[in-house]
Amino acid sequence: MPTSAIRLVHFAGRLLLAVAAVTVLVVVFLALIALTDGAGSGLAAWLTTLGVGAVLAMWRGRRRTWPGRLAPFLPVAVAAALTASVCIPTVPTARRYPPALPFVTTQHWSLTTGSRVAVYHYPPTHHSPRHPIPLVYLNGGPVRGISVLDHRFLQLLGRQGYDVYAYEQAGGGRSNLLPMRQYTISRTVSDLAAFIDRLNKGKVDILGFSSGGAVLTRSLADPSVAAHLHRAIIAEPGPMDGPTAHITGHKGRRSARGFAPAPSGRRSTHVPRYAVAFGLMRLGLLSPETGLIGQAEGDNAFAAADLGSDTASAYCARDAHRLPAEDIPRNFSFSPAASLRIQQTVKDSPSIAAQLRKSRTPAMLLIAECSSQIRQWETTVLANDPAIQRTQYLPGVGHHMWNGLDDNNDRAAAVITAFLQDKPAPLPNYPTREEIPAFLRDHK
């Protein structure tokens, strides 16, 4: 074999060994991040990895002459540079709240629970008969700001004579953060009760969407909160308790997930620090209280594009290439750590079915044809709440039912206002409790 070929083989071998060494050190670093829960912004894992790498490099170079002794340190230096990027913040570590919206005033209310929440009010216009009961909107998320798409729908309800109030749950949007341990599903229910008390307008109607629907369901199972509710609209609810959260089942008709173009815009997950933090959190390898990134930093970093196909899953497959812009960058806000924390407290909570069966608050359940929610999350509420008077199965829409496409906002408003005014439903009452088995069997 020619000398040049031998040298090439030796070089390739050394290069492969160096790449393997870098890979091993990076894996060790990630394992230590998980084991230390990101202590010290990841510096504990980084220094330990660097120390281990340095010791191994010295051991490998112990019998070499001086220039050769430095060679084993090159993979350590490369690994140190790569992993150091996980320890360095690239966004402010103090909360940077979204600026005010131009079309609605942001108020801030301090609740008796200790939460300070951002509040929005859409009073009824003079062009429609005024509905006497205030309507409170609970948005989804959890711990997500109210999107511009939702604000437009609330404006529509205001134009139809409803006195609409909405607030962003603690930690979401322009609402103040809580200590991470205080993000629980029971706290969100207490905040709702405190908000109604602060509103001081007597009983209220509630529209709860997605995780907001789960909060509303749990409120109906709590007599002290339910006493303040006039009518309840549970739209596309998430799981109401631990047993429901662990149900496996099918979803609605095919959504746009996997068909829609990838969302554009910046992604925090393209930055090593946040890709590691959010990725390990989602896998359950980092706790929401992780020392790798603080809550405020995570909120500042997370962008709408990071939701990826989750956004597309809220629409029907037929709408895959015309998805509406749900929000504007200056308004988008989502707290991944706090959301995971609340979801975990739902999974850990005992059944509320027995309490829900005692509910007497008139309620309506909204189900979307192309829902991305597990159907049993919705049918479990229907089966256990005897006060649900009607179910409205909305054809042609996904999880985000009021989405600005075609006449979807008007159709959603029609079923909501008909129930609030105790008028005949514009759609059949479907499924009824008796029809749940057939509804699930037919994969509706």
> Which pLDDT belongs to residue 173?
97
Q: What is the pLDDT of residue 8?
A: 56
Average pLDDT, the chain: 93
Assess contact for 395 and 370: CB atoms under 8 A: no
The two beta strands, 204-209 and 164-168, are: unpaired
The structure tokens listed for 74 are: 């090159």
Mean pLDDT, residues 51-62 taken together: 78
Q: Note whether 60 and 72 are within 8 A (CB).
A: yes
User: Where are any strands of DSSP class E within 303-416?
Assistant: 363-370, 388-398
Q: Tell me the CATH architecture of domain 107-267+303-441.
A: 3-Layer(aba) Sandwich (3.40)
Q: How far apart are CA 323 and CA 125, in angstroms?
A: 30
Report the predicted TM-score, pTM, of the whole model to 2 decimal places.
Answer: 0.92
Q: For 199-236, write each residue's pLDDT tens digit.
A: 999 999 999 999 999 999 999 999 999 999 999 999 99
Q: What span, in angstroms and rounded, lies between the C-alpha atoms of 60 and 49? A: 16
3-state DSSP call for residue 392?
A: strand
Rounded Cα distance between 108 and 249, Å, is 40
| Helix/strand/coil for 190 | helix
Q: Which two tokens stand for residue 301?
A: 């970093």
Extents of the domains making up the chain? 3-84, 107-267+303-441
Q: 272 and 29 in contact (C-beta within 8 Å)?
A: no
pLDDT at 63: 63
pLDDT confidence of residue 124: 94
Which of 103, 57, 109 has its CA nearest to residue 80? 57
Residues contacting 368, CB < 8 A, separation 6+: 236, 252, 394, 397, 398, 399, 401
Question: Residue 322 and residue 69: Cα distance in Å, rounded?
Answer: 60
pLDDT, tens digit (0-9, with 9 covering 90-100), for 160-209: 999 999 999 999 999 999 999 999 999 999 999 999 999 999 999 999 99
Lowest mean pLDDT among 69-73, 180-184, 355-359, 380-384: 69-73
Could you give the angle at the alpha carbon of 34 between the alpha carbons of 29 and 36, nearest 5°?
90
What share of the chain has pLDDT > 70, as a percent?
94
- Each residue's pLDDT tens digit, 301-358: 999 999 988 899 999 999 999 999 999 999 999 999 999 999 999 999 999 999 999 9
